[in-house]
Amino acid sequence: MFHLHHHDIRPIGPEDAAALFVVQAAIEPVDAGGMLEWVGELEERLESGGLAWVVVRGRKLAGYAAIDPVPGLPGVYDLSGGIVPAWRGQGLGTRLLRHVQDAAGPAGARYLSCRVDSLGVGTARFLLGRDFYIEHEECLLELADLASLPPVPESPAADLLTMPAERAATEFCRVYNESFAGRPWSQPYSEAEVAALLVNPEDLLFAVVDGRAVGVVWHEVLTDGRGRVEPLGIVPQHQGQGLGRRLLLAALHDLQRHGAGVLEIGVWRDNRVALNLYRSLGFQERDNWYFVACDVVGRTED
């Protein structure tokens, strides 16, 4: 019986790029024309603090695994990868995962997290049988009937306005942190991240009371014409007063005016307040997915 040796798992090298894309295409269908883009994204992930390893069988790559630090969540690393179907069932995936778990701690990871579309098959079953647990569920809500949007209410009193790019980034980070501090779904942004992601300063709409921003919604029209809203935050002192509903409706009407055909919002399943707000405006669930996680520190060794 063939036994996998430690030297059969190694960090990826520049020479692996093309072969690694073939591996990814075998694990999950990928458009062949997107090879350069996929490889470029992987290189960016590695340059941003990510790590990746390959499983080598003879001269062929049988699989790979990558971990990337999640922005705003110190110590949390996103896990991706897999084993080529032809090589599954031989213990390669388990050996590779154990190697990654052992290497993740010294790299600064405290948790590994992986998004899965279903809990009953494939990646989820594999990970849940190897130290991982269900961390949380997220869902995507959609609103297609924009003609039925309620008008923007006049109360509670607040000025709804946009800001110049630099100030918008600063105020967004402050309001976000105040709104979501201590919440499981908090994933803080840095001002540099906001500046890099913000296409138009007008995509950030603020609720201002007595000259101070107390709420914010990030809304934008995507290249395919869909309108997206995320996140929406109100500081604790102004929650429960209807300001979130007013701010959200203002953003939705703005997206409609800019030609959005369908509106979408992502939300944690456990965020019942947000879910109830969105559903009250006609949003319906279109998709859902899960994140499974593993505690790197304190993991039981085999």
Does 150 lie in the same domain as 131? no
Does 201 lie in the same domain as 182? yes
Does 159 lie in the same domain as 253? yes
pLDDT for the residue 148: 86
DSSP 108: T
For residue 124, the one-letter residue type is A
List pLDDT tens digits, range 187-236: 888 999 999 899 899 999 999 999 999 999 999 999 999 999 999 999 99
Show the low-confidence residues of the chain (pLDDT under 70). Answer: 1-7, 298-302
Does 105 lie in the same domain as 32? yes
How far is the C-alpha of 93 from the C-alpha of 64, rounded, in Å?
9
**Nearest by Cα to 235 from 259, 215, 253:** 215
The C-alpha angle 81, 87, 93, rounded to 5 degrees, equals 45
Task: Count helices and strands (H / E) in the chain.
Answer: 8, 12
Q: Are 238 and 214 in contact (CB under 8 A)?
A: yes
Does 266 lie in the same domain as 156? yes
Q: Are 219 and 265 in contact (CB under 8 A)?
A: no
Does 102 lie in the same domain as 181? no
| Domain span at 61 | 6-137+291-295
Asked if the structure places residue 78 within a domain, the reply is yes
Q: What is the b/e burial string over 68-83, where b = at least 16 CB atoms within 10 angstroms of the residue's CB?
A: bbebeeeebbbbbbbb
How far is the C-alpha of 112 from the C-alpha of 132, rounded, in Å?
9
Helix (H, G, I), strand (E, B) or coil at 37: helix
Distance of CA 296 to the CA centre of its chain: 20
84: left (phi over 0), alpha (psi -120 to 50) or beta: beta
List pLDDT tens digits, range 68-85: 998 888 899 999 999 999
How far is the C-alpha of 268 from the C-alpha of 295, rounded, in Å?
21
Considering its fold, how many domains does the chain have in total? 2
Asked if the structure places residue 157 within a domain, the reply is yes
pLDDT for the residue 109: 94
Does 264 lie in the same domain as 173? yes
Q: How do 263-268 and 227-234 pair as beta strands?
A: parallel
Does 183 lie in the same domain as 104? no
Does 23 lie in the same domain as 128? yes
pLDDT for the residue 164: 96
Asked if the structure places residue 266 within a domain, the reply is yes
Cis peptide before 231 (omega within 30 of 0): yes
Asked if the structure places residue 302 within a domain, the reply is no
Asked if the structure places residue 252 within a domain, the reply is yes
81: left (phi over 0), alpha (psi -120 to 50) or beta: left
Does 154 lie in the same domain as 126? no
The C-alpha angle 263, 264, 265, rounded to 5 degrees, equals 135
How far is the C-alpha of 66 from the C-alpha of 219, rounded, in Å?
31
DSSP 154: -
How far is the C-alpha of 130 from the C-alpha of 119, rounded, in Å?
14
Sequence-distant (≥ 6) Cβ neighbours of residue 116 within 8 angstroms: 122, 123, 124, 127, 289, 290, 291, 292
Does 86 lie in the same domain as 56? yes
Does 173 lie in the same domain as 96? no
Asked if the structure places residue 112 within a domain, the reply is yes
Give the domain CATH number at 107: 3.40.630.30
Asked if the structure places residue 150 within a domain, the reply is yes
Q: Are 91 and 43 in contact (CB under 8 A)?
A: no
